[in-house]
Amino acid sequence: MTDQVHIHKHGAVGHISLNRPKALHALTLDMCHAMSAALTEWANDDAIEAVILDHAEGRGFCAGGDINLLRKSALEDGGIAGRKFFHDEYQLNHQMMTYPKPIVCFMDGITMGGGVGIALPAKFRVATENTRFAMPETGIGLFPDVGGGWHLSRLGGRLGQFLALTGARLDGAECLWAGLATHYLPSEMTADAKARIIEKPDRISGVLSEMVGTPPEARIEKNADKIAKHFASDTLEDIIASLDADDSDWAVKERDTLGTKSPQTQKVALRQLAESAKLTDFADNMRMEYRIGSRVLLRPDFAEGVRAVIIDKTHDPKWNPATPEGVSEQLIDSIFAPLPESEEWVPLS
């Protein structure tokens, strides 16, 4: 086990607390393995009725995955360690998505990337005024993985496509409005909520509904019509043209945002969401995302995006290809192509 995750039992409730505060609880491979092992044990333990997932301290719930490990792997070992990380992280995502007992996730803080991957499979997802939800991967030459294709493609009004391309951040009220969260509580009520769930694990829905806080207005609702209109196409060039034809401040801002993201991974994300929407089995989605991850990890945009945004913080990535027109259908096809049978992703056995 690792000290980066606290794992406890309180009566009939298993409790997983992420504990890597200096990294905003970003997931390491050891954390994924510790969580998977605990969930496996509790799935087979008749005394455990439910699971609580939260973070131990600090302002993040979970800021994502181990980006530095992924970049090091891309540059130094041909992606071997990075692919292992993706493979086992995706096994955890799938394990949670198909878990036989209710999981209650408290998204009380930054919930991004890999944090979204462990939050959205939970049956109960509690947002607070501290929640900052985003899938910002296209800004570093990655794509909204960890099941993002499945979750985002199932939001209404093209909101998923908007979030995938722009990396926009939603607050807790917006998460509730969008259906990304099932409940909203002021953060000061979360400790009481957990105590009540531990007392009555068979009544989680009732406990959370009784305590429900009044969320503020969801600001994104005002832009829902614009999002549905401008992000209607699965073709990046169409979306950009639609925004270019609108001189409103909102459209100009979103157009400028798209201009900072990797054209390659924006096109990957649009294809990913379109394909995910057709799938009926989450395992098929994770198999597809692992194929994408294995390829995108080694494409030039990933190492360059992490350099510009996370390491040097210069925010001047030189994308390759540099324009949407430069990203061919053949390149996207090659990123989505099946892997050799022995290398394909498989769920935990």
Q: Which domain holds residue 180?
A: 5-343
Query: Which stretch of 23-27, 209-213, 256-260, 328-332 has the lowest confidence by average pLDDT?
Result: 209-213
Do 104 and 211 contact (CB within 8 A), yes or no? no
* pLDDT of the residue at 1: 55
Catalytic (active site) residue 137: yes
- Active-site entry in 65, 113, 148, 149: 65
Q: Please check whether residue 236 lies inside any domain of the structure.
A: yes
Q: Please check whether residue 349 lies inside any domain of the structure.
A: no
Q: Please check whether residue 258 lies inside any domain of the structure.
A: yes
Q: Please check whether residue 255 lies inside any domain of the structure.
A: yes
As a whole number, mean pLDDT of residues 325-343 equals 98
Q: Please check whether residue 348 lies inside any domain of the structure.
A: no
* pLDDT of the residue at 57: 86
Catalytic (active site) residue 213: no
Distance CA 126, CA 324 (A): 37
Using one digit for the tens of pLDDT, what is the confidence trace for 61-81?
999 998 989 999 999 999 999
CATH number at residue 263: 3.90.226.10
* pLDDT of the residue at 14: 98
- Active-site entry in 114, 117, 147, 213: 114
As a whole number, mean pLDDT of residues 87-105 equals 98
Residues with Cβ < 8 Å from 7, sequence gap 6 or more? 1, 14, 15, 16, 17, 34, 38
- Active-site entry in 145, 254, 275, 289: 145
Instruction: Give how many domains the chain has, as a whole number.
Output: 1
Give the SS3 label for residue 321: coil
